[in-house]
Structure 1
Amino acid sequence: MKAFVVEKIADREFAADIQEISVPKCEENEVLIKVSYSSLNYKDALSSVGNPGVSRKFPHVTGIDVAGTVAESNCNVFKVGERVLVTGYDMGMNTHGGHAEFVKVPSSWVARIPDAITDKEIMTFGTAGLTAALSINELTQNGVKPEDGAILVTGATGGVGSIAVSILNKIGFDVVAISGKEEKIDYLKKIGATEVILRDTFNEESKKPMMGEKYAGVVDTVGGEILANALKYIKYDGVATCCGLTSSHELNTNVFPFILRGVRLIGIDSVECKLEKKQAAWEKIASKWKVDTLDSITNEISLDEIKDAYELLLAGKAVGRYVVKI
């Protein structure tokens, strides 16, 4: 079968390209999936260059998301022919991932694809969409409502950010998007942003320990200084979620928003969260949270185009979601 394989050539030197490899054998309590679509994520791009925080076993097939059909089942949970998907866990990290014609995984990683959504659509969401949905779940389940005020979304042109903007708009929230890409303001408004603030402008305005109350909640995808500044603007009893670190893994902040406004900061992990929680999020994504802007945020590519797309992701030039047709 064809697969996108990363090989270690020497210490800190890696090569990645399409190769012909063997179809994996399905062992006990495993499922073999015939892949129809996968997607690209920042973590995939890091894996492709041998980032030790993501992948340590080589040769390695990238792809932390996959959708397709059960080709072989060695468990009593899934039957041959069922439409399924996998996101997270160790797939695409140190276990071969979805950028191949077939992938085998433990059955405990597998979720069913809801009938109301196609394989391509669910991979347009993928890990990014799941992360956005889990973030928005935390806002709504902690009492944040559209009438409370706008939601600030950071890193808004990225995969998680773009989908978060679209879902929030779909369910009635005003959305203020932060981006470093001035040329993408029209794109962000097209997918649902009410207002767009450029990253440098936002950081310039946020030098005090506390700022005026502006936002009912924050969906942060970048970490660092932007998250630290966003916390200063959250209204009383508001909620911020954090799921990324493309700006920085460090958070230099103060306690005032937490002790004077009761602000809550909630971490989001879509990798190891319980399968039941993932399945519930997918059901929402396929129904009341299914957005009609998918075409605007989707770039469909083939296995042969993955390498070029990784370069864009690593350079911070990617916009929206990359869906890989296998």
Structure 2
Amino acid sequence: MSGFKALVISEDGQGGYLQSLCERELDSLPAGEVLIRVRYSSLNYKDALSATGNKGVTRRYPHTPGIDVAGVVEQSAVSEFVAGDEVIVTGYDLGMNTSGGFAQYVRVPAAWLLKRPKGLSLRESMALGTAGLTAALCVEKLEQAGLTPSAGPVLVTGATGGVGSIAVALLASRGYDVVACSGKADAVEWLKSLGAREVVGREQLQEGSEKPLLKEQWGGAVDTVGGDILFNVVKSLRYGASVACCGLTAGTGFKASVLPFILRGVNLLGVDSVELPLVVKASMWDKLSLQWKLDLTPLVEEIGLERLPAAIAQILAGQVRGRVLVRID
């Protein structure tokens, strides 16, 4: 087979971008040692940015987004992978400037690949995807910094998003008292069904942004939004507590003060899941497939390639709840 279906983003010549399902040729794929027949991908906020022409994510168009892939090796130039192996790829340059997973085929460097974790199906691995990996890395980093269930309530911001919703479920499954923050009033019961004890509105976390310190509340936090909300979380941490920061939908900057750090000894922990060494990714995927395995059924909506343009618009408008799993037929 030389032709395959893909979502292609192209410039329209008037400063805009077009999203269309196209037929591509295998020869058009970038260089790489392993050709993969894609079975599943997932929709992430970064994919939506790439699909709408954000040059901070994707520099060159035409382009096929999709930072997550689960599929079957079709051809391999390396001994570590052979035809028929089930594999996953998340992060690195996939879907950014390298043709990504919203297509029936991808070709990637072998150094980006992991064999499918034994405790997860290809579908389950993409129900998690980059969002699940990031959520798990946040929880891992918080626990390495000393977080335990006895530390007090753990806040999750942007809790209806992919990372946030999985973080809520994962923390609850590990015995934490989870407080979810969301701007979606209709998501309260859904978040509680994932394990949140309480749900607070976004406006509650925006109060007091002009103050250098706020009342101590949180034993720990996972922040997926950034901006002034993140610093209000920092100002509300209990003595010695930490927040894991992994997102920027509310902004890339905030008005900071050193007071929470020097008076309460709190920690702001950065979390990256893109350029993480493959051995670290493998270790975290093993956890997600075994002792940290979750039932993701309540979190997942499954769509095909043809529904991606509508889903992209929804995620940019903040209308997506949980995870969008993309089935590649």
Q: Same fold (TM over 0.5)?
A: yes
Q: TM-score, normalised by structure 1?
A: 0.96
CA contact (8 A) 2:29 2:106 kept: no
Matched, 1:187 2:190: yes
Matched, 1:324 2:326: yes
CA contact (8 A) 1:27 1:74 kept: no
Q: Secondary structure at the match of 1:117?
A: coil
> Which of these residues, 107, 112, 120, is aligned with residue 110 of structure 2?
107
The count of corresponding residues between Structure 1 and Structure 2 is 325
Offset at residue 11 of structure 1 (A): 4.9
Question: 2:304 aligns to what?
Answer: 302
Q: Deviations over 1:180-208 (max 9, x none)?
A: 00110011001111110001123226653
Q: What's the RMSD between the two structures over aligned residues?
A: 1.4
Question: 1:69 aligns to what?
Answer: 72
Q: Work out the CA distance in 1 between the residues paired with 2:133 and 2:258.
A: 30
CA contact (8 A) 1:24 1:102 kept: no
Q: Work out the CA distance in 2 between the residues paired with 1:28 and 1:44.
A: 21
Question: 1:169 aligns to what?
Answer: 172
Question: 1:251 aligns to what?
Answer: 254
CA contact (8 A) 2:139 2:167 kept: yes
Matched, 1:224 2:227: yes
Question: 1:128 aligns to what?
Answer: 131
Structure 2 residues without counterparts, runs of 5 or longer: none
Q: Secondary structure at the match of 2:292?
A: coil
Question: 1:312 aligns to what?
Answer: 314
Q: Deviations over 1:35-83 (max 9, x none)?
A: 1100000011011111111111111111000001111111122121111
Question: 2:61 aligns to what?
Answer: 58
Q: Work out the CA distance in 2 between the residues paired with 1:262 and 1:135.
A: 19
Q: Work out the CA distance in 2 between the residues paired with 1:316 and 1:159.
A: 11
Q: Deviations over 1:62-116 (max 9, x none)?
A: 1000001111111122121111100111110111000111111000011121111
Question: 1:213 aligns to what?
Answer: 216
Q: Work out the CA distance in 1 between the residues paired with 2:228 and 2:187.
A: 21
Q: TM-score, normalised by structure 2?
A: 0.96
> Which of these residues, 259, 266, 269, is aligned with residue 269 of structure 2?
266
CA contact (8 A) 1:24 1:103 kept: no
Q: Work out the CA distance in 2 between the residues paired with 1:217 and 1:83.
A: 37
Q: Secondary structure at the match of 2:239?
A: strand
Q: Mark the CA change 1:107 to 1:258 in structure 2 (over 3 Å): closer, same or farther.
A: same
CA contact (8 A) 1:26 1:72 kept: no
Q: Work out the CA distance in 2 between the residues paired with 1:101 and 1:240.
A: 38
CA contact (8 A) 1:28 1:75 kept: no
* One-letter amino acid of the counterpart of residue 84, structure 2: G
Offset at residue 142 of structure 1 (A): 1.3
Percentage identity across aligned positions? 48
CA contact (8 A) 1:114 1:282 kept: yes
Q: Secondary structure at the match of 2:155?
A: strand
Q: Work out the CA distance in 2 between the residues paired with 1:27 and 1:59.
A: 13
Q: Deviations over 1:268-320 (max 9, x none)?
A: 1111011111111111111111112x111101000000000000011111111
* One-letter amino acid of the counterpart of residue 112, structure 2: W
Matched, 1:281 2:284: yes
CA contact (8 A) 2:209 2:228 kept: no
Q: Work out the CA distance in 1 between the residues paired with 2:154 and 2:135.
A: 13
Q: Work out the CA distance in 2 between the residues paired with 1:206 and 1:274.
A: 36
Offset at residue 214 of structure 1 (A): 1.5
Offset at residue 261 of structure 1 (A): 1.2
Q: Secondary structure at the match of 1:61?
A: coil
Structure 1 residues without counterparts, runs of 5 or longer: none
* One-letter amino acid of the counterpart of residue 97, structure 2: N
Q: Mark the CA change 1:6 to 1:96 in structure 2 (over 3 Å): closer, same or farther.
A: same
> Which of these residues, 79, 94, 104, is aligned with residue 82 of structure 2?
79
